[in-house]
Amino acid sequence: MWTPVDPTSARRLRKPMLALSLCAAALGAIAEPAQAQKREKQQSGAFRSAFQFSGLGKEWWLAEYDHPAKWFRTSWRKDAAHAGPAGLSITLQTVPEDRRVSADEMAADDGTLHSAGKTAKDFVSAQLQRRKWYGYGRYEVVMRPASGAGVISAFYLYTGAHFGDSHEEIDIKFLGRDTTRVELNRFRDGEPLAEPPSVDLGYDAAQDPALYAIEWTEESIAWFYGETEAYRISDASMVPRPPMKIYIDLWAGSARQADWLGTVAADVEAEALVQCVSFVPAGKSGMPQCSDLMQAQ
């Protein structure tokens, strides 16, 4: 088990973890603020965000919209994410009947319905995006995914058509129906792995926050949980191309995904907790990472 420590004091974190249990490839990409729409994107350097100490800051962006795909049942709302002493809490809840409108009404909305808290979706949750672009290097996240059938928590790197790019993606996904496993995938030119691995963690990820990582180079991708390597791709022709953005989200599946995710409860209340995200460019060392804040317990 791991416990994060305060980077400003190096003391062990004493804040209690929340007791509640709280990815869709490209599901939020179309809502990105309208800066970079071309492939020529400046890749950014190292960072570390420890949310329980620093909050969101200016470099993270929360989505605020209804995804246009009718099969996608979750609306993104900023107020479904809250930074506090335990980290960044992302909640998923059922939308009350009096807040629902038709998809056609929402599509024609001039902002009035949205301002009144209306949505055409069945559930409401949050998606977090890093504003800048990133390339090869090591990505770390300390998180506790949501539990419950039909829900999925994800940390992933993505770019696609909205940004003028081919679909490139690297995923870490947790299916709420079985949080003792983690699902890993990558897309290059829109093609996923033929058989994405589902890795047995040996523990229930929904019980406590833990460290997960992606190491991405021009020749390979490796995924980790804690210090254990979960899976590796060593064929350069299968490795996605940079740059990409960093995403974190929690959402509920539809009937068409029930075989994969299970069926979400109509009155679902779920929560994912994210404590830290960091990136160090390939070839660099000595830079702050989430793993630096972890102590064996």
Mean pLDDT, the chain, integer: 87
pLDDT the model gives residue 261: 87
Q: Compute the distance between CA of residue 217 and CA of residue 221 in angstroms, rounded to an integer.
A: 6
Mean pLDDT of 192-206: 97
Confidence (pTM): 0.86
The pLDDT tens digits of the residues spanning 99-152 come to 999 989 988 999 999 999 999 999 999 999 999 999 999 999 999 999 999 999
pLDDT the model gives residue 295: 65
What 3-state DSSP class applies to 287? Answer: coil
Is the pLDDT at 23 greater than 90, yes or no?
A: no
Give the CA radius of gyration of the chain.
18
Using CB atoms within 10 Å of the CB of residue 199, give its burial: 0 to 12 exposed, 13 to 18 middle, 19+ buried.
middle
And the tokens for 61? 């962006």
And the tokens for 297? 């317990």
The pLDDT tens digits of the residues spanning 223-280 come to 999 999 999 999 999 999 999 999 999 999 887 888 888 888 889 999 999 999 999 9
In the block, residue with structure tokens 């800066």: 35
And the tokens for 268? 């679902």
What 3-state DSSP class applies to 39? Answer: coil
Check: CB of residue 138 under 8 Å from CB of residue 215: yes
Check: CB of residue 219 under 8 Å from CB of residue 234: yes
Is the pLDDT at 9 greater than 50, yes or no?
A: no
